[in-house]
Structure 1
Amino acid sequence: MKIRGRVWKFGDNIDTDAIIPARYLNTSDEKELAKHVMEDADRDFPSKVKPGDIIIAGKNFGCGSSREHAPIAIKAAGIKAVVAKSFARIFFRNSFNIGLPIFEVPDLIDETKKGDEIEIDMNTGEVINLTTGKKYTTKPIPSFMQELINFGGLVEWTKNRLSKEVIR
């Protein structure tokens, strides 16, 4: 599966409070969370992000508290993937749990501009900056984790799996 989108850039150590500020955690409504995603890092982001866009960032993206709201808000805003130099481990796991694909590509942020278009092949790990033609390689997403993404996350994958077990 390939993911293609326009780039938004963020720096190092973007924590979960910058991704979805704590003042909005009184709701679990995904549409409401999407209205405020990344607003403390870029005030204009929630009003300018478009479905299919991709976030690229520096080191330690998603650090801070372990709130699942952070990847949920990103996905609900229509972001197709997040690419960073590195991720906080709990954010990494939470992202796959809710069906948000993420990729570690250390050089991409330094060689990509906001607004560039990139394409990511989940099967091969190839990342191409379609604006510049530059290619990068990352680890492909294993097939099981691609299943989680395709079903929309671990909960939906589990529901599907259990329904098949009940039918047998």
Structure 2
Amino acid sequence: MPTVHLFARDHINTDEIIPARHLTTDVEAELAKYAMEDYDKDFVRRVQPGDLIVAGADFGCGSSREHAVWALRGAGVAAVIAPNFARIYYRNSINNGFLALECGGITDLFQDGDPADLDLQAGTITNTRTGRSLTFVPVPQFALDVQQAGGWLEYMRDHSQAEVEAESLKAESAAAGHGHPGHAEG
């Protein structure tokens, strides 16, 4: 059962996720050693494969570096769940096959170290210590397909151009950081 690592503050930026001084590589295992180090120096010692980060609103704001996704994925984090994400971080997550799940009220559901049950099919996250659950914004099938493939490049290798052009990423989104809708109207 995954453990929740609670980072309840809003506006955690990519420099806090992976400090710029460690951007000398794109190797996830190397980046993972420094994940969240300026926010919580003990995070990489506590995190286990499959664990979850629960964070405040506008997670991943700041620069557009993919390294922020790579560092968390390399550390074993299965998903980040927040009320909303900076748009570029959210898209980098999809492109890299990493789950960024939007869920209002999520920071009130957990305490740091609580066990969780994440059910992607049902769209729920449950604190198994308290039994309380929340429903998160559904993950578009396209994003799940990209995640299952291991990222956008891997997905593209397995699908024709026509298949890719037929896909859609028009899922409803929470405020998606900065109060902007997470999808285009039309």
TM-score by length of 2: 0.82
What whole-Å deviation, never above 9, does each CA across 1:109-140 have from its counterpart, x for those lacking one? Answer: 12311111112222231221111100111122
Partner AA of 1:132 in structure 2: T
Partner AA of 2:98 in structure 1: L
Match runs of 1:63-78 below 5 Å: 63-78=61-76
Q: Percent identity?
A: 46
Counterpart of 1:112 in structure 2 is 110
What whole-Å deviation, never above 9, does each CA across 1:1-28 have from its counterpart, x for those lacking one? Answer: xxx5100011211100000000011111
Equivalent residue for 1:5, pick from 2, 7, 15: 2
Counterpart of 1:145 in structure 2 is 143
Partner AA of 2:30 in structure 1: E
Distance 2:95 2:58 in 1: 19
Partner AA of 1:134 in structure 2: R
Partner AA of 2:11 in structure 1: N
Aligned residue for 1:158, secondary structure, equals helix
Distance 1:85 1:41 in 2: 19
What whole-Å deviation, never above 9, does each CA across 1:121-160 have from its counterpart, x for those lacking one? Answer: 2223122111110011112212111111101110111112
Residues 123 and 141 in structure 1, CA contact (< 8 A), matched pair in contact too: no
1:19 and 2:17 matched? yes
| Equivalences, count | 161
Distance 2:111 2:127 in 1: 10
Distance 1:113 1:31 in 2: 27
Distance 1:65 1:127 in 2: 29
Residues 124 and 139 in structure 1, CA contact (< 8 A), matched pair in contact too: no
Distance 1:40 1:14 in 2: 11
TM-score by length of 1: 0.91
Counterpart of 1:86 in structure 2 is 84
Counterpart of 1:98 in structure 2 is 96
Partner AA of 1:43 in structure 2: K
Distance 2:20 2:132 in 1: 38
Partner AA of 1:113 in structure 2: Q
Distance 1:135 1:27 in 2: 38
Match runs of 1:117-136 below 5 Å: 117-136=115-134
Partner AA of 2:72 in structure 1: I
Partner AA of 1:71 in structure 2: V
Distance 2:70 2:27 in 1: 10
Counterpart of 1:40 in structure 2 is 38
Unaligned runs of 5+ in 2: 164-186
Aligned residue for 2:122, secondary structure, equals coil
What whole-Å deviation, never above 9, does each CA across 1:26-46 have from its counterpart, x for those lacking one? Answer: 111111000000001101111
Unaligned runs of 5+ in 1: none
